[in-house]
């Protein structure tokens, strides 16, 4: 008589090494929090693109703002961190190489002294959550991770809001950013001319450590670069893609001041970031996952 055998996946904990996981089923390494990251990754349903296109499922690539002049204008979701990125990066945490630490590696920090902005923007990522407010506002920290966001709040600079695509219909884990470069608070944080496209590209330039030629970008333009924070090094591959946003002034917040000299407020391009962790701090423990399946009939 033949027997049926089935071995469940095994998990091996390996401590005190800077090495990275190399097993293809799980790209996550780290502590208990990263174990949660791996579980979340296994629960996600990531489309081949690494994200669901919001407009394909009733969503929008423009935010919703409570009051605009005229009413009904929004701001572009012009950066996407792919759900195919390292699972650790997609955990909204400052530790274990998480999203907040990745933002810090780009020169950005959370709100000044933890204060939340009073005017929220909402986004519908087409994931089944309808419109929901931003997870947080992240600001250029002027080289000071602790207090630099306070300086940006006062004198302006690059900043972005972000949302996580984690709904019941599309649970990719991708991060959608609305980036722009704003004027000082004394000027009501208006957006500088071409500030949506420049906000996107100056963030990308922080990754590449080079100037991004905003006016010369086209569909399919690619870049790559590395950044570091708290002992973690991130390699980011960037692809500019068209077809998600329109090249337009129509429906864009601040379009009178942002779209100037024949340049539309939004150029129709989205920067898609695919992020890997290539270096971790010494003596970092990590979980090495291996799946073993054995069947006999």
Residue 109 confidence class, pLDDT cut points 50, 70, 90:
very high
How confident is the model over 54-59, as a mean pLDDT? 98
Give the pLDDT score at 41. 56
Give the pLDDT score at 118. 65
The more confident residue out of 224 and 26 is 224
For residue 229, which phi and psi values (nearest 5 degrees)? -160, 135
- Weakest-pLDDT range from 62-71, 104-113, 197-206, 283-292: 283-292
The more confident residue out of 119 and 221 is 221
CB 267 within 8 A of CB 217: yes
Residue 169 confidence class, pLDDT cut points 50, 70, 90:
very high
Give the pLDDT score at 188. 78
- Map residue 39 onto helix, strand or coil: helix
The more confident residue out of 35 and 266 is 266
Give the pLDDT score at 285. 58
Cα separation values, 296 from 7, 121, 243, Å: 11, 55, 49
The more confident residue out of 9 and 178 is 178
- Does residue 56 carry a pLDDT above 90? yes
**Domain coordinates in residue numbering, the chain:** 54-281
Q: In the 8-state DSSP scheme, what is residue 76? A: B
pLDDT in tens, 245-265: 999 999 999 999 999 889 999
Give the pLDDT score at 113. 80
Sequence-distant (≥ 6) Cβ neighbours of residue 116 within 8 angstroms: 136, 137
Mean pLDDT, the chain, rounded, equals: 85
* Percent of the chain clearing pLDDT 90 (strictly above): 72
- Prediction pTM value: 0.83
* Percent of the chain clearing pLDDT 70 (strictly above): 81
Q: What is the dihedral of CA 248, 250, 252, 255, to 10 degrees?
A: 80
């Amino acid at each position: 008589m033949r027997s049926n055998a089935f071995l469940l996946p095994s998990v091996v904990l390996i401590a005190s090494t800077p090495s990275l996981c190399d097993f293809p089923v799980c790209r996550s390494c780290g502590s208990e929090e990263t174990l949660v990251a791996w579980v979340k990754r296994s629960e996600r349903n990531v489309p081949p693109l690494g994200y669901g296109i919001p407009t394909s499922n009733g969503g929008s690539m423009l935010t919703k703002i409570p009051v605009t002049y005229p009413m009904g204008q929004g701001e572009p979701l012009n950066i996407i961190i792919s759900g195919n990125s390292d699972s650790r990066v997609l955990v909204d945490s400052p530790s274990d190489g998480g999203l907040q630490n990745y933002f810090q590696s780009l020169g950005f920090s959370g709100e000044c002294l933890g204060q939340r902005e009073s005017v929220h923007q909402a986004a519908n990522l087409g994931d089944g959550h309808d419109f929901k407010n931003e997870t947080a506002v992240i600001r250029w920290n002027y080289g000071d991770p602790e207090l630099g966001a306070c300086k940006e709040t006062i004198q302006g600079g690059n900043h972005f809001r972000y949302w996580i695509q984690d709904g019941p219909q599309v649970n990719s884990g991708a991060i959608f950013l609305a980036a722009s470069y704003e004027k000082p608070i004394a000027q009501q944080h208006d957006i500088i001319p071409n500030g949506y496209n420049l906000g996107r590209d100056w963030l990308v330039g922080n990754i590449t450590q080079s100037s991004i030629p905003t006016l010369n970008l086209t569909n399919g333009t690619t870049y790559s670069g590395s950044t570091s924070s708290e002992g973690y090094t991130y390699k980011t591959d960037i692809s500019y893609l068209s077809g998600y946003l329109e090249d337009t002034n129509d429906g864009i917040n601040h379009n009178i001041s942002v779209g100037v000299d024949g340049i539309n407020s939004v150029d129709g391009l989205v920067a898609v970031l695919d992020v890997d962790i290539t270096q971790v701090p010494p003596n970092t423990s990590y979980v090495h996952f291996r799946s073993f399946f054995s069947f006999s009939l």
